[in-house]
Structure 1
Amino acid sequence: MPGLLISHKSEGETHLIVGASALSLSRVSKSIECDAAKVVLVAPPDGHVAWSSEVQRKVDEYSGRIVWIQREFQDEDLTTLGREEVDGIVDVVFVATPSIAEIGTRISNLCRKLRIPVNVADAPRLSTFTLLSTHTDGPLQIGITTSGKGCRLASRIRREIASSLPNDIAMACEKIGDLKQSIQDGDDIQLQHNMETYYHEVGQHDDDAVQSSKFNRLVLEEEANEELAKNRDALKKQRMRWLSQVVEYYPFSELANLSIDDLSSQYRFNFPNLAAESQLQFSPAVPKPGRISLVGAGPGSAGLLTTAALTLITTADLVLADKLVPAGVLDLIPRHVETYIAKKFPGNAEAAQQELLAMGLSALRQGKAVVRLKQGDPYIFGRGAEEYIFFRKYGYTPSVIPGITSALSGPLFAAISPTHREVTDQVLICTGTGRKGAAPAIPEFVESRTTVFLMALHRLSDVVGWLHDAGWRMDFPCAIIERASCPDQRVIRTTLDHVVEAFEILGSRPPGILVTGKSCEVIEQVPEGKSWVVHEGFQL
């Protein structure tokens, strides 16, 4: 059975390594790299001078951190060579000696009794953990294991994955970490300000404030702490939702070049609400011969672009892309084509939309060919008609290139037939989010209908609650389809009464849709006795 993959922090630990071999030397180096405070090698001097010389070199180089005990292993080593604060017990044991059958079994049994993690080379049954074949690039670590079935195969898989990573992936990790810390620091400052304001305002209305009553002060602090906890939780949810969208929708090349100051300022500006910000104003002007196209990018896979869409994005001067357009499609845009990705994060949708319109209009007035690249189809909950009307108002009539909408293709990729004889005879496409976040109109329950909800997963609990209130059966089959047609597509098959719980446990993988109807269980069913089942991956 596969084991639980974890990243084990070795800082401050004592690692015991048993055996004189090239592998034991490798284990010593790895423990030092992982910042173990002390590495104890128990091994008699090897017959090969080169090995002994290399061990001694490392002992000298890392004075005090590597100890070489030149003898055979003794049982008491496990409880005498470790840290004093844990009664001398070592933290981790690596057995890297050729005589595994004899000493490996003995050490493994002792470690299990003492609850010490142990790894015995080439003996998975004797090990409580296995080491991964790892790729490290700055803060990024990728580990591959075949659960003891083939170390060399794991190494090859690791190389294949590493070779496919963007060159600047480590910088992307650094930038996201810096951005997370920056906006968290800003939130902490805001919380502190709110607390000071709270004390000041409450104190002004406290008739006994001048008397410095300790009792009253304690009551005030208790109330303030409750308010602080609520604010902190709210800010954390807000922050994580905003960050998750940056991570999901920015191409890796963009992540590596993020301006921390700019995005941190944007985050501060976005909240609590940007929807009320004043709209940009545009003055009429005599149009130049620019060209604007509203282009559908399809559900996700670049292979599902129409040839017309591909031609336009490769010949444009400027591409204004939704944040939902996946990297595979964006990668088809030539490097010389200026590309801008919408910053439509929570609280900023209206302002970001106005920014895109302004950029598109400015480029058109310069006579440029502009492509407004929209996820799915421009007119299926994509505000395409609004943009069409806007640009036509200023003298530029867009051409509209349809895209394959996930509302109809997503179920297909998830083995769901939206219509099926004697099961479902109609399909309805709805939104889970009304204008400015308002609740949408909920359709009546029709048992023979397949209903597809777009833009619903970020408020799934609310949507299911609305369906319940509208008289929908909660045992009705449904499916969540995320990243439809992409290699990391995920399908969660369940029923309405379990879908919220499943989604909260499994986490979000946007963008996604919710499909309801008996059609969800025509081809694939949830196994009896299970509340949901998950299907991963897709190949076009």
Structure 2
Amino acid sequence: MTNPKYPNPTGGGSFIVAYRAVDKHVLVVGGGQVAAGRVFNALEADMIVTVVSPKLTGELQYRAEEGQITWIGEEFKPEHLENKDMVLSTIDDPEESKRIVSLCNDLKIPVNAADINNLCDFWFMSIHRDGPLQIAVATNSKAPRLANRIRMQIANSLPKGTGKAIENIGILREKIRIGDPGIENTRKRMTWMKQLCDYWPIEQLAKMDSSDINDLFASYTKQQDPSTIKTFGTLTTPTTNTEITTEKIEISKCRSIKFEQKTKGKIYLVGAGLGDPDFLTMKAHRLLQEADVVLADKLIPSPVLDLVKKGEIFIARKFPGIADIAQQELYIRGIEALEQGKLVVRLKQGDPFVFGRGGEEVVFFEERGYEPEIVPGISSALAGPGVNKIPVTHRGVSDQVLILSGNNRFNKLPEIPTFLSTRTLVFLMAINKLEQVCKLLLETNYPPNLPVSIIEKAGCENQRKIVGTLESIVEISNRLGNNPPGLLVVGNSVTALDNPSSNESSIDSSFKQIAINQPIDECG
């Protein structure tokens, strides 16, 4: 029977709370990129983090060395669960994750296991954070990508400075609680603060400084109605809704009113090249020095960022599992700066349009009224092999190049064309999937003895080149270890310059004859 006074629960929802996790002990199982993202979120919530994994990513290694986390360098054991308040499994082994979940269930420890949604006690949500403000969107693990889009729309609709406004209100609220203590004054405090929060625009509350907060506290002690408070400090008296709705201005009169023209910002989509500042274009170098805000990819080396003279540097936290969230954060910060009339540089590794989502970013900003100017960069796909003496095209060896991504959408491997001895394949973002990529090539009838090279940190002082064959490169990489970012070059061009004289037999005989008969006075 339905009672109109009381709503009926529909079920199927999650019990969403803001969990106060300060000093709670969380165990993260795994040391990869997903673990790095989970660890970052836990540290932001002031949790005590322990990571158990034989190996760590560079970021987690850094956090261990800095004392931000405790690292247990071994495989997971049940005793690691002792005195833990939460467990996050990020490993790629579903059976081991299920075992961890079962152990946690027996001990009544809340657990989340990556990619095993039906066994999780809780899921991660798409989060927008602005200081103390956190907005989380949950889809009960049904549509996480759509959750990111919804969160972005919500974040874009917020008034500017919402997080700062909340921070200021928190300071004022505490000041009032201390200055007028006692449970008997609770209703008075709450009523006055409610009126202030309901009346003053968020943008104005965000502009408050310490002097303004003191003035508001004085207004509270006098129990002055917040709606009657006149201009003070950086604030201006707000306009009531009644005034907004009742005031009418004729269109003909509007033509005689001079409005202040809002300065419109400018955005540049800039390629950072290989990573060495010497490989930057002159225009990219100049823009980095002129920029007010630089939105940078996580992999941009510090020597390039050191060129930023005056601008704020906002670095994306693009890790697997939160890459889309980080992209949305870049969008939000970029729009904020552009609306403030600032010069924004979106700095992307390599070239913005070579597997850099540059096209998506152009569309995003164009839809919001900003026309990005493109500043191309040197792509590691072509220059990375070049600076390591691998010519991706070479007469008689390779006459075409195919650039592929090892990290396609939905985590899929690329489609591999049939083998052609004169084609060079260059894979970006494939080192973490080296074994799968090599297996796919062998299954597509690529020769096992085909030369292969891994190039790490191309163009930087610590670049490294590893050479092997399609059947040996995985073993070599496992033995030597890898140090991303890196690219994979597959084809006969890999060894084309190892012994140049050995390539003579592959040069067209007709070309050799032309070279022999060429008059000396025509040779430059």
1:416 equivalent in structure 2:
390
Question: 1:355-405: CA deviations, max 9, x gaps?
Answer: 101110111111111100000000000000100000000000000000000
Question: Are residue 319 (structure 1) and residue 294 (structure 2) matched?
Answer: yes
| Gap change, CA 1:308 and 1:199, over 3 Å in 2 | closer
What is the DSSP-based 3-state SS (H/G/I as helix, E as strand, rest coil) of the residue aligned with 1:400? Answer: strand
Equivalent-residue separation in structure 1 for 2:404 and 2:452 (angstroms)? 14
1:190 equivalent in structure 2:
86
Question: What fraction of aligned residue pairs are identical, expressed as a percent?
Answer: 42
What is the DSSP-based 3-state SS (H/G/I as helix, E as strand, rest coil) of the residue aligned with 2:370? Answer: coil
1:508 is aligned, of 482, 490, 500, to 482
Equivalent-residue separation in structure 2 for 1:472 and 1:296 (angstroms)? 33
Judge conservation of contact 1:426–1:448 (CA < 8 Å) in 2.
yes
Equivalent-residue separation in structure 1 for 2:288 and 2:70 (angstroms)? 36
Q: CA offset at residue 275 of structure 1?
A: 5.1
Equivalent-residue separation in structure 2 for 1:298 and 1:200 (angstroms)? 47
Question: 1:78-101: CA deviations, max 9, x gaps?
Answer: xxxxxxxxxxxxxxxxxxxxxxxx
Equivalent-residue separation in structure 1 for 2:105 and 2:64 (angstroms)? 39
Q: CA offset at residue 353 of structure 1?
A: 0.6
Equivalent-residue separation in structure 2 for 1:353 and 1:292 (angstroms)? 16
Gaps of 5+ in 2: 1-60, 74-79, 90-97, 117-130, 160-260, 500-524
Equivalent-residue separation in structure 1 for 2:429 and 2:88 (angstroms)? 35
Equivalent-residue separation in structure 1 for 2:101 and 2:427 (angstroms)? 43
Question: Are residue 292 (structure 1) and residue 292 (structure 2) matched?
Answer: no
Q: What code does the residue aligned with 1:308 have?
A: K
2:335 equivalent in structure 1:
361
Q: What code does the residue aligned with 1:503 have?
A: S
What is the DSSP-based 3-state SS (H/G/I as helix, E as strand, rest coil) of the residue aligned with 1:427? Answer: strand
Equivalent-residue separation in structure 2 for 1:494 and 1:407 (angstroms)? 19
Q: What code does the residue aligned with 1:328 have?
A: P
1:486 equivalent in structure 2:
460
What is the correspondence of 1:150-229 to structure 2 with a 5 Å cutoff? 176-181=65-70, 189-191=85-87, 198=102
Equivalent-residue separation in structure 2 for 1:200 and 1:451 (angstroms)? 46
Q: CA offset at residue 516 of structure 1?
A: 0.8
Question: 1:287-312: CA deviations, max 9, x gaps?
Answer: 85100000000011110000000111
> TM-score w.r.t. structure 1 length?
0.49
Q: CA offset at residue 351 of structure 1?
A: 0.7
1:309 equivalent in structure 2:
284
Equivalent-residue separation in structure 1 for 2:493 and 2:72 (angstroms)? 44
Equivalent-residue separation in structure 2 for 1:350 and 1:174 (angstroms)? 23
Judge conservation of contact 2:398–2:424 (CA < 8 Å) in 1.
yes
What is the DSSP-based 3-state SS (H/G/I as helix, E as strand, rest coil) of the residue aligned with 2:67? Answer: helix
| Gap change, CA 1:413 and 1:189, over 3 Å in 2 | farther
Judge conservation of contact 1:287–1:396 (CA < 8 Å) in 2.
no
2:350 equivalent in structure 1:
376
Judge conservation of contact 1:275–1:348 (CA < 8 Å) in 2.
no
Q: What code does the residue aligned with 1:357 have?
A: Y
Judge conservation of contact 2:431–2:488 (CA < 8 Å) in 1.
yes
RMSD: 3.9
Question: 1:70-123: CA deviations, max 9, x gaps?
Answer: xxxxxxxxxxxxxxxxxxxxxxxxxxxxxxxxxxxxxxxxxxxxxxxxxxxxxx
What is the correspondence of 1:93-108 to structure 2 with a 5 Å cutoff? none
2:469 equivalent in structure 1:
495
Equivalent-residue separation in structure 2 for 1:294 and 1:196 (angstroms)? 45
2:148 equivalent in structure 1:
278
Question: Are residue 521 (structure 1) and residue 425 (structure 2) matched?
Answer: no
What is the correspondence of 1:426-505 to structure 2 with a 5 Å cutoff? 426-505=400-479
Q: What code does the residue aligned with 2:266 have?
A: R
Question: Are residue 402 (structure 1) and residue 389 (structure 2) matched?
Answer: no
Q: What code does the residue aligned with 1:296 have?
A: G
Q: CA offset at residue 438 of structure 1?
A: 2.0
| Gap change, CA 1:197 and 1:339, over 3 Å in 2 | closer
What is the correspondence of 1:52-91 to structure 2 with a 5 Å cutoff? none
Judge conservation of contact 2:451–2:468 (CA < 8 Å) in 1.
yes
Equivalent-residue separation in structure 2 for 1:480 and 1:403 (angstroms)? 21
Equivalent-residue separation in structure 2 for 1:440 and 1:462 (angstroms)? 11
Q: CA offset at residue 433 of structure 1?
A: 1.3
Q: CA offset at residue 177 of structure 1?
A: 3.6
Equivalent-residue separation in structure 2 for 1:427 and 1:298 (angstroms)? 19
Q: CA offset at residue 475 of structure 1?
A: 1.1
2:316 equivalent in structure 1:
342
Question: 1:235-258: CA deviations, max 9, x gaps?
Answer: xxxxxxxxxxxxxxxxxxxxxxxx
Q: CA offset at residue 189 of structure 1?
A: 4.5
| Gap change, CA 1:368 and 1:195, over 3 Å in 2 | same
1:330 equivalent in structure 2:
305
| Gap change, CA 1:199 and 1:519, over 3 Å in 2 | closer
Q: CA offset at residue 174 of structure 1?
A: 7.2
Q: What code does the residue aligned with 2:86 have?
A: Q
Q: CA offset at residue 284 of structure 1?
A: 12
Q: What code does the residue aligned with 2:319 have?
A: F
Equivalent-residue separation in structure 1 for 2:433 and 2:86 (angstroms)? 26
Q: CA offset at residue 324 of structure 1?
A: 1.3
Judge conservation of contact 1:274–1:348 (CA < 8 Å) in 2.
no
Judge conservation of contact 1:274–1:351 (CA < 8 Å) in 2.
no
> TM-score w.r.t. structure 2 length?
0.51
Equivalent-residue separation in structure 1 for 2:494 and 2:365 (angstroms)? 40
Equivalent-residue separation in structure 2 for 1:376 and 1:405 (angstroms)? 4
| Gap change, CA 1:465 and 1:355, over 3 Å in 2 | same
Q: What code does the residue aligned with 1:190 have?
A: M
Equivalent-residue separation in structure 2 for 1:456 and 1:324 (angstroms)? 15
What is the DSSP-based 3-state SS (H/G/I as helix, E as strand, rest coil) of the residue aligned with 1:407? Answer: helix
2:367 is aligned, of 367, 373, 393, to 393
Question: 1:103-158: CA deviations, max 9, x gaps?
Answer: xxxxxxxxxxxxxxxxxxxxxxxxxxxxxxxxxxxxxxxxxxxxxxxxxxxxxxxx
Q: What code does the residue aligned with 1:178 have?
A: G
Gaps of 5+ in 1: 1-171, 203-220, 222-227, 235-260, 526-540
Judge conservation of contact 1:275–1:347 (CA < 8 Å) in 2.
no
Judge conservation of contact 1:287–1:394 (CA < 8 Å) in 2.
no
| Gap change, CA 1:275 and 1:472, over 3 Å in 2 | farther
Question: 1:5-25: CA deviations, max 9, x gaps?
Answer: xxxxxxxxxxxxxxxxxxxxx
Judge conservation of contact 2:266–2:370 (CA < 8 Å) in 1.
yes
Judge conservation of contact 2:148–2:324 (CA < 8 Å) in 1.
no
Judge conservation of contact 2:63–2:69 (CA < 8 Å) in 1.
no
| Gap change, CA 1:197 and 1:326, over 3 Å in 2 | closer
What is the DSSP-based 3-state SS (H/G/I as helix, E as strand, rest coil) of the residue aligned with 1:178? Answer: coil
1:164 equivalent in structure 2:
none
Q: CA offset at residue 201 of structure 1?
A: 6.8
Q: What code does the residue aligned with 1:198 have?
A: S
Q: What code does the residue aligned with 2:349 have?
A: Q
Q: CA offset at residue 503 of structure 1?
A: 1.1
